[in-house]
Every structure is written in structure tokens, then in C-alpha cells.
Amino acid sequence: MARNIEIKARIDDFSAMYEKLALLADGLPDIIDQDDTFFVCPHGRLKLRTFSPDRGELIFYQRPDQAGPKTSFCQLTETQDPDSLRETLTLAYGAAGRVIKQRTLFLTGQTRLHLDRVKHLGDYLEFEVVLNEEEMPEQGIAIAENLLEKLGIERQELVDQAYVDLLNAKGKHHHD
């Protein structure tokens, strides 16, 4: 399973953050539309991420809910039929929420920087410091802390919950 150190923060000014990230990043960003469906899963999170009708990823991950840098373990399987897989998993387990977002993905070294516009929720920045086999979580945490400082992100802007939980907490009254 892959290990990442992750951190998430609420963003007030999307374009200002975009500019900062563009200066830090290696090369130009990718813009990716993501439609995530979460399923009821007792010991972690299971989500189906759809990029297009014939491309998706089923992702299982475990990550503590805490505001600072945290270690996430994930396992990923690709699918060419996300809609059918979503139906099957919904029937089997029940859906636990849906997150639709546009992600602007920048890379810097071993870190993925996600500038996310989340439907019904707002703008967020998420880092994923990808650890290799030998690296200790502390090394990834140091990288994440350094990026927080470089980007001028304050502690109070950090978020300890997944997007799906933030949306579910906001209430179910949103309809497209």
C-alpha cells in the first residue's frame, strides 16, 4: 500500500494561491474533473473516483481525522466501467456521500499539491507528500510543514475532515 503524508487547508483566495503554487511547482498544472462516490466502509474509506465514462479508480484508504499532517495508507484499482461499478457497490454496501470537484494538480518534488474547487463547499488546498519505502513519516511531515510556511497558510485554516464529511455535515439539502 502507498503511504502519503497529507494536509488540507481552506483557501480564501483561489487565484492568489494558484499564483503561489505556480511559482513553487515543477512545470504546468493538470486540471482534472473528479466525481467521487463514497461507500459505507467499516474500517477505512472506499471511494470510486470517476474521470470520464470509461475511466475511474476505486480507492481504499485509511487516514486519521486530525488537522495537522497525517499519514494515509491507500490502495487503488483502475476501472474502465465506473458507472456500472458504482451501481454494484451502491447495491452491495450503500453510498455514503458524493464529492464533485475540479482539481488543479501541481507537482513539486515528491509532493502533489491539489488546489480543489469543491462543489457546494468551496476552495481548498491539499498536499500529499508521497513517501518512498525507506522514508519515515517524520520526513514527509517536515516537507509538509515547510510548504505550509512557504505558502503562508495559518494553523486555523487547516481542516481535519474529509470533503465528504464536511459536505455531509453541511446537510443533505443540496440538490443539483
In whole angstroms, give the CA distance from residue 40 to residue 112: 27
Question: Could you read off the pLDDT of 105-164 as tens digits, one per residue?
Answer: 999 999 999 999 999 999 999 999 999 889 999 999 999 999 999 999 998 899 988 999
Model confidence at 175, in pLDDT bands (50, 70, 90)? low
Comparing 72 with 83, the larger pLDDT belongs to 83
Q: If you search the block for the grid coordinates 499564483, which residue do you land on?
A: 19
Question: Could you read off the pLDDT of 140-157 as tens digits, one per residue?
Answer: 999 999 999 999 999 889
Q: Does residue 176 surpass a pLDDT of 80? A: no
User: Contact, 100 vs 119, CB < 8 A?
Assistant: yes
In whole angstroms, give the CA distance from residue 110 to residue 3: 12
Name the pTM for this structure. 0.87
Model confidence at 173, in pLDDT bands (50, 70, 90)? low
User: Contact, 106 vs 126, CB < 8 A?
Assistant: no
pLDDT of res. 12: 93
pLDDT of res. 24: 94
Answer positive or negative: Cα dihedral of 163, 167, 168, 170: positive
